[in-house]
Structure 1
């Protein structure tokens, strides 16, 4: 595909008055909520459907990074500094190239590529397109999704090439219907993480089921796109990496593995290891990283990308993907194998959201790992103490992820968790959205990268753990006092 004409990027001086703090706040908030779908659209109260404003809100407490968080001061300042580039981004790819370079430097080995996506759910589309490029002409895709009840709500639809909402970043959609040009392109095979009572299924049982599905797909002449869920909504993981490695080794031409690391609660070294293993990796800047909702990316191993670029055939690209991707979202190495169309030249809102998220990721990756583990231990210990001190609450410990704690209300009726979530939000107290565990409902208490960074910076001031954790302890006490009052 031919490259568009470009011109040097720069900070447009004629727009400078808009970017002063007092005048630029409304403009930046508007831009941060652009280039997405209905999930990030601001309502009459200036907040999206998850209760988050597009600008920092003083006094609010965010333990909701499994779903979405309000933009941090650090992220807001970074996005504010980048706002001028959002207005010249259509002239040059420099801004998005720099964002891509920064992301890959932190998470990927040399040679890897990154596709920016309006959300983690759109990353499913990118993975499906690349799996289709690896498949033989006319070969169907069987998309094997693990734990759809504990991933993004739209993931099963997106994984089967369907619209997951009635809106899109650059167009409209019809939820449940196939994207134009992707009719019948993918069949979905979904496996649960838990049994009917809510207990996690044994890891080897899930591995065996996925291997059986791959054998069936191969017998039917299909290409299998296998999901490895790194962290679910409750902190569970499946399939095992040993299983994924074996599937790819034994079926090099008929299996593609994609890691769903959208929560991004694993160490950066794990992401690099997964890419080295030949896996695609989906990440998000708006979960654990605490960036503004939403920002996703699909990381592509270097060898994977180079093999596609060297082929004579283009990457299959249904017209419906134009509603979801801009031209600069895709790196040139892969984009040159796409005939298009794209919905826009540049998604400036997405660029600003990733700018905010990268400010947090860079600060987090610079921390001493010992301080990260100290912050996690303090958080988990205080969370346990608060839960034990609050009658009517209990903790689900099946996930084992220290930064994501599902909490259930004893004897609660269906819908009680959502009601509590809304009441707490009105007080500026934010938890992760309700998730079902067996026949019960859980809200999720989450620690985010920005909170860990702030803990570490306070610790470095005087070397005292109690001082460093003090603000987080106070926030937890305020949250659980309010929650306990709701329970009576």
Structure 2
């Protein structure tokens, strides 16, 4: 089934194979399935997995789609129809926008939502939106990316206005790391510059503020896009809200735009509303905390940018290469300026990205389940699950060492609701019989793959947060961390299984942790015996 054929399906029952094909369509090479294993680079297949043989605490990276969400997608596809020549996906996406507004607790007059395939795509489109709102084509856009080492690995290229993969969402080849024509302006000069700052350096907030001072004062024709992180793939936030407020008070909107990278979507509705009121863009995905399939993202754009976007010279910054990163229905129907421009590029883009629509629909299915649970119960479960995970670490001190951020609590408060508590737990894996020596990146990548392979002695497929190499104060050189994560689906499943019983029960999580740790230990010990 081709991409365009799915839009015109009428009264046809979609097969499981067809639905799986659609769920992994409309993304770049990160969604391609390995022909041998049938999973993508995140270790996830395009359909549901058998719970008795799969264990996943991997929502910091990606999670296989649930049976309930997959069945929901089948129902959606079997009722998707064209009427009066309109695009049914376009109308459904408008409905998802409204549902997100309802979850956040705002009205459509307060913000707009742009859908994107991934968090990295969100960064690229945020650069585009900031670029077209600048008063002059010659203005240099300085993109200051905080804690870049704890953001997605492709963010730097996207933040620079560059191609960040070898393919776009249509599967066309592009040259990774090269500028996207015209996004830098009609003159062809490089007018977007990206500066990355490590998480360790971000601990000195005076350094962040001084960096912005230098960028703003470097030239009278400079605009700074501050890329703040909340929450990182290791569970951190930078900078603090006080720091953001000081920065905003110092600079006008003509000199500074703030982008909140919340792609983990571990953020309370109150906090999102606060960012919107302050005129900050927010990027989210449905594939992390809410466990929709990988590649389901969005940008929440405050209403204060609406008039600028409608009046912007979009044609000056749009090309075939940039247009091919999105579909027309990704953009709000009210944004006639951008939609009109994109309609001139129909040879390189779709009216709607059906795969992206399905993945976001699956994420909304999980968000609906989660938001139906009393907030107090959700928080109690997270607290209990945190204790369970910490107990698991303590049970194997010679194998796993948790990475603790002792200053984290000072960055969160009661307005973060349940997300003031940890939901991502990074850890190192020790080399056998060696003190303070951990598996290196290559060894961790090998272990990550072996965890996903069932064996006779350990027939469980294990998926956890991908290994990430980071520099950590107090540890020698670069160290590689894995992650356990608490997610919305785990909480929803527990609530439904126990009918919301109090005190909450985390017995299933305890069992999962035992299975995962046993398999890690088996692999580490086997590798040690073979070396």
Shared fold per TM-score greater than 0.5: yes
Deviation readout 1:296-318 (Å, 9 max, x if unpaired): 10011122224432x36447532
Is 1:203–1:238's contact at 8 Å kept on the other side of the alignment? no
Q: 1:56 aligns with which of 42, 48, 51?
A: 48
- Paired residues of 2:216 and 2:255 also in contact (CA < 8 A): no
Distance 1:394 1:312 in 2: 51
Structure 2 counterpart of 1:34, from 20, 25, 35? 25
CA distance in 1 between counterparts of 2:134 and 2:326 reads 22
Aligned residues: 465
Report the RMSD for the aligned CA atoms in angstroms.
2.3
1:6 aligns with: none
Tell me: CA distance 1:363–1:193, structure 2 relative to 1, closer, same or farther (3 Å).
same
**How far apart, in 1, do the equivalents of 2:246 and 2:57 lie?**
37
The whole-number CA distance in structure 2 between the counterparts of 1:99 and 1:235 is: 27
1:292 paired to 2:286: no
User: What secondary structure sits across from 2:41 in the alignment?
Assistant: coil
CA-to-partner distance for each residue in 1:374-406, whole Å, 9 max, x for gaps? 111122111111111122210001174611011
For each residue in 1:339-380, what CA deviation from the matched residue of structure 2 results, as whole angstroms up to 9, or x when unmatched?
233511110100000000001112212221111111111221
Q: Which residue number corresponds to residue 404 of structure 2?
A: 397
Matches within 5 A, 1:270-285: 270-285=271-286
Within 1, Cα distance between the matches of 2:522 and 2:378? 32
Counterpart check, 1:363 vs 2:369 = yes
Gaps spanning 5+ residues in structure 2: where? Answer: 1-5, 185-189, 409-420, 431-436, 455-460, 472-477, 526-531
* 1:13 CA drift (Å): 4.6
* Contact 1:228/1:241 (<8 A) preserved: no
Please say if 1:242 is aligned against 2:262.
no
Identify which range, 380-389 or 392-401, moves more after superposition: 392-401
Q: Which residue of 1 aligns with 2:144?
A: 144
Confirm or deny that 1:98 pairs with 2:135: no
Q: Cα deviation per residue 1:57-82 (whole Å; 9 max; x = unaligned)?
A: 10311111111110112221222221
- Kept after mapping to 1: 8 A contact 2:104/2:273: yes
Q: Which of 508, 511, 523 is equivalent to 1:486?
A: 523
After TM superposition, the structure 1 stretch with the greater mean CA deviation from structure 2, 247-256 or 151-160, is 247-256
Q: Which runs of structure 2 are paired with 1:381-460 in the superposition (5 Å)?
A: 381-390=387-396, 391-398=398-405, 400=408, 402-410=422-430, 411-414=437-440, 415-427=442-454, 428-438=461-471, 439-460=478-499
Q: Residue 204 in 1 paired to residue 186 in 2?
A: no
Aligned to 2:475: none
CA distance in 2, matches of 1:273, 1:80: 36
CA distance 1:41–1:388, shift in 2 (3 Å): same
- In the alignment, the residues of structure 2 paired with residue 244 and residue 454 of structure 1 have an alpha-carbon distance, to the nearest angstrom, of 37
Q: Is the 8 A contact 2:401 2:428 kept in 1?
A: yes
Q: 1:213 to 1:117 in 2, by over 3 A?
A: farther
